[in-house]
Amino acid sequence: MRIFAIDDEQAMLEELHEAILQAEPSAEVLDFRRAADALSAVAEGKTPDVVFSDIQLPGVDGLSLAVRLKTAVPEVKVIFVTSYEQYAVEAYRRHVNGYVMKPVDARMVREELDALNLPLRAAKPDRLRVRCFGYFDVFWKDEPLIFARTQTRELFAYLVDREGAACTGGEIITALWEDNETIRNPKAYLRVLTQDLRTTLAAIGMEDVLIRAHGQWAVRTEKLDCDYYRMKKGEPEALNAYNGEYMKQYSWAEMTLAALQFGRL
């Protein structure tokens, strides 16, 4: 097993290195004080299995670095190291694995390494679970949500991608069907799809997920348990579910994917 230890403070880096070796004596531990050096090592073929990274690094935050590492090595697992209690307190409140507090010891490291094999937590019962990493999909109570039309699913995916921002009909039409010559009346088609989406959500009692006002549409993000949203909040388990792919069935999603790949969360 190859493990990256990343911390800009030399004393903290040495402490982390020693704790990792005590917890996993057979590991090859590579130390880095700069994010750029860790990325260069990956580019040279030194791919890690696990990364322990300070969440606050000069010039780049640990989350952005982690996403770039995950883009290069989708199977790598990331664990954040922090001396800031607000990160850990919030993580523990959500029962999130993937954080260790400084000073780090072997027990902490071992617990986090063991936790990497645990499945992702279940969605809260009052939320739709939305998967953006890989192929886009939606689940209700652990069952796939069935859409009558594939374009209805795509419409919902686009609204999820916009993260609660209001979208006009013109914007949606341009993004989704600008080059689709088979749709003769896009405005009428959008009305059909939005009604279909309302009907689909109403059938499971979640119609309030969709917002429509003044000719614009959006989703209530607080009603969604979304891997992409949780990763942007810094949840390591969501980050570790990221496999370098984002809504891969939709070409318009490539802009968000590019932002992820360059660490622009």
User: Who has greater pLDDT, 201 or 181?
Assistant: 201
Round to whole Å and give the CA distance between 243 and 75: 7
pLDDT digits (tens, 9 = 90+) for 45-66: 999 999 999 988 888 878 888 8
Q: In the block, which residue shows the tokens 């689709």?
A: 180
Q: Comparing 175 with 121, which gets the higher pLDDT?
A: 175
Rounded Cα distance, 48 and 228, in Å: 23
pLDDT given for residue 82 in this prediction: 83
Q: Which pTM does this prediction carry?
A: 0.79
Q: Where are the alpha helices (DSSP H) in the chain?
A: 10-23, 35-43, 62-72, 85-93, 106-115, 150-161, 169-177, 186-202, 227-232, 236-239, 254-261
Between CA 146 and CA 47 the distance in angstroms is: 39
For the chain, the average pLDDT equals 89
pLDDT band at 123 (very low <50, low <70, confident <90, very high): low
**Confidence label for 94 from pLDDT (cuts 50, 70 and 90):** very low
Per-residue pLDDT for 120 more than 70? no
**Structural domains in the chain, sorted by start:** 2-118 (3.40.50.2300), 120-265 (1.10.10.10)
Q: What is the pLDDT of residue 228?
A: 96
Asked if the model's pLDDT at residue 85 lies above 80, the reply is no
246: pLDDT strictly greater than 90: yes
